[in-house]
């Protein structure tokens, strides 16, 4: 098939996909979104793409639930996009966050023959030669990969994660459709809003491309192994790099139990309360000490081993946290403790998170109300999850956009708190968080860190001093050559220029009319030139009426 054939096939696929998307949106009562897409797509792809009559279902359900059902019907890529949105309470309302949190990767396992062929192609050998045994029935199946139990020739029991054949191409095609849809929605429904669907889709494309690369997950897992090598409360599964490729990840098989009913855990000799504390410490250490963290620490991503040891799995979703993000979190904690709402607002403004539409007085007042609600409570009694949720609502309603990684950090902390509370109803994350926050707030005052900052400042100052003569010489040289330019940008200067130009034109026109009237009066006084003077009066009257009408129509009378 030539290039024209591929283009036609791609265009035909997109046309069918757009038609399906619009049909599903209309089916679940999301007409305004469907119509926005339909109006744009009609121009580009033709009338036949846009279905008009669709059987409506899901009547009586909330809009958030209908949105979730639509994403589920649109398939795995849209489900994953919904799962990403569920981690962004700074962008979408809490109702949608909670509803999209129910999205699950419920897909059928890949055919055994296709998995076998993929393993043999990736590891360059017959399956029987690569592994002593390989169970064709998967332990778990997701939209991107599925996991099989196997045994290495050395006799080690392993879990082999195999990427679905062809899934990379499918996701790339779906992401292109998502990017086009985001552009259409930005131009139609969100043209004058701070919400930018293109940015959300961009973040999703980046995240899902990392998730399809199992070599990236392998690197994350190896980093966790190194970081927790000396921690006896955590066991990260060993990676068998000999049996790994970008589409295959082979790791130690964990024979543990899933977190669940505390009574069942006790029957297995485990302590639910201790596991709750260790789970929280696992996440908080990643955030405050390591600067990278497991972005989805829900119970399904943990196994429990004898001795109350936690074994986290699935390292495809790992986020990196900057020192700036951690500093912002410390500022929020200190503002709550010291009752200084303006401190948070100043920090947000300093970090360029406050937008033009933000009313800082309103934001400060909202922050003050939020802090007042918890001010009289002991720190250990402050409910972390509800407080974070209310903070996100406040920021979103005031057009404040915190960094995505900062949002993921807080979301991870809320998730681990829910996980810990399921094991111990009396668990309080704030108590476990306190020593980490205290150490983090003191880090900037550590002698080593202060010396490092001073050393860097001196290096920067020395670099500036060494380059100053050269920079001054370059500026003077441009002066001498007449090439030195100063550019000044003033907001709304163009509008001011137009206004002054219009005003000066009207003044000039009025002077011309006055001159005509004076000149015509002098001519009328002379018998021989009376007709010329009368004509001048007529012209002045016409110009005067025109000027008056233009002023009235401009609303400046």
Active site residues: 296
Q: Tell me which long-range contacts 191-196 makes (C-beta under 8 A, separation of at least 24).
A: 194/355, 194/357, 194/399, 194/401, 195/91
- Which residues fall within 8 angstroms of residue 90, CB to CB, at 6 or more apart? 392, 395, 396, 400, 401, 402, 407
Tokens representing 337 are 């403790």
Beta pairing, strands 157-163 & 145-151: antiparallel
Give the C-alpha separation, 320 to 408, whole Å. 10
Taking CA 99 as the corner, what is the angle to CA 96 and CA 101, rounded to the nearest 5 degrees? 105
Question: Per residue in 476-496, is it b (16+ CB within 10 Å) or e — as a string?
Answer: eeeeeeeeeeeeeeeeeeeee
DSSP string, 140-207: EE-SSEEEEEEE-TT--EEEEEEEPTTHHHHHHHHHHHHHHHHHHHHHHTSTTSS--HHHHHHHHHHH
Give the C-alpha separation, 336 to 379, whole Å. 9
Q: Tokens 């010329």 sit at which residue?
A: 532
Q: Nearest Cα to 437, choosing from 394, 395, 396, 382?
A: 382
Q: Tokens 């607002």 sit at which residue?
A: 345
DSSP string, 461-476: HHHHHHHHHHHHHHHH
């Amino acid at each position: 098939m030539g290039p024209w054939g591929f283009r036609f096939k791609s265009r035909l696929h997109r046309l069918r996909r757009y038609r399906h998307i619009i049909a599903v949106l209309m089916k679940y009562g999301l007409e305004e979104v469907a119509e926005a897409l339909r109006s744009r797509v009609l121009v580009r792809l033709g009338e036949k793409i846009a279905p008009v009559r669709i059987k409506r279902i899901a009547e009586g359900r909330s809009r958030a639930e209908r949105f979730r059902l639509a994403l589920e019907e649109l398939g795995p890529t849209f489900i994953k996009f919904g799962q990403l949105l569920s981690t962004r309470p700074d962008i979408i309302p809490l109702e949608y966050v909670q509803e999209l949190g129910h999205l699950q990767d419920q897909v059928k396992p890949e055919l055994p023959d296709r998995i076998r062929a993929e393993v043999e192609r990736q590891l360059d050998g017959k399956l029987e030669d690569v592994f002593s045994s390989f169970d064709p029935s998967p332990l778990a199946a997701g939209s991107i990969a599925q996991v099989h139990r196997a045994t290495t020739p050395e006799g080690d029991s392993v879990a082999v994660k195999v990427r679905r054949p062809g899934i990379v191409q499918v996701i790339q095609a779906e992401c292109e459709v998502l990017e086009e849809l985001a552009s259409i929605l930005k131009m139609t429904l969100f043209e004058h809003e701070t919400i930018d669907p293109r940015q959300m889709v961009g973040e999703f494309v980046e995240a899902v491309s990392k998730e399809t690369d199992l070599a990236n997950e392998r690197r994350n897992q190896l980093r966790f192994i190194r970081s927790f090598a000396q921690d006896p409360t955590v066991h990260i599964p060993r990676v068998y790099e000999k049996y790994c490729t970008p589409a295959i990840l082979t790791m130690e098989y964990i024979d543990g139990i899933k977190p669940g009913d505390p009574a069942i855990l006790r029957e297995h000799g485990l302590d639910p309360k201790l596991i709750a504390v260790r789970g929280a410490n696992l996440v908080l250490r990643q955030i405050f000490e390591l600067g990278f963290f497991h972005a989805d620490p829900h119970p399904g991503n943990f196994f429990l081993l004898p001795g109350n040891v936690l074994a986290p799995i699935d390292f495809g979703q790992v986020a990196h946290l900057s020192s700036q993000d951690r500093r912002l979190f410390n500022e929020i904690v200190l503002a709550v403790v010291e009752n200084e709402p303006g401190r948070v607002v100043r920090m947000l403004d300093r970090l360029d998170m406050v937008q033009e539409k933000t009313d800082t007085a309103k934001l400060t007042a909202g922050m003050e109300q939020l802090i007042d609600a918890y001010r009289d409570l002991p720190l250990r009694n402050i409910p972390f999850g509800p407080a974070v949720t209310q903070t996100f609502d406040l920021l979103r309603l005031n057009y404040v956009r915190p960094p995505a990684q900062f949002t993921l950090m807080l979301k991870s902390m809320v998730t681990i708190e829910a996980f810990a509370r399921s094991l111990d109803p009396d668990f309080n994350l704030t108590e476990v968080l306190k020593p980490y926050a205290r150490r983090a707030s003191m880090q900037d005052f550590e002698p080593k860190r202060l010396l490092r900052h001073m050393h860097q400042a001196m290096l920067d100052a020395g670099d500036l001093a060494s380059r100053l003569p050269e920079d001054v010489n370059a500026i003077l040289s441009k002066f001498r050559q007449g090439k030195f330019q100063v550019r000044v940008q003033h907001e709304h200067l163009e509008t001011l220029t137009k206004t002054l130009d219009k005003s000066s034109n009207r003044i000039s026109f009025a002077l011309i009319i006055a001159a005509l009237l004076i000149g015509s009066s002098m001519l009328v006084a002379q018998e021989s030139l009376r007709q010329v003077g009368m004509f001048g009066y007529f012209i002045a009257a016409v110009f005067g009426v025109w000027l008056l009408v233009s002023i009235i129509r401009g609303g400046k009378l």
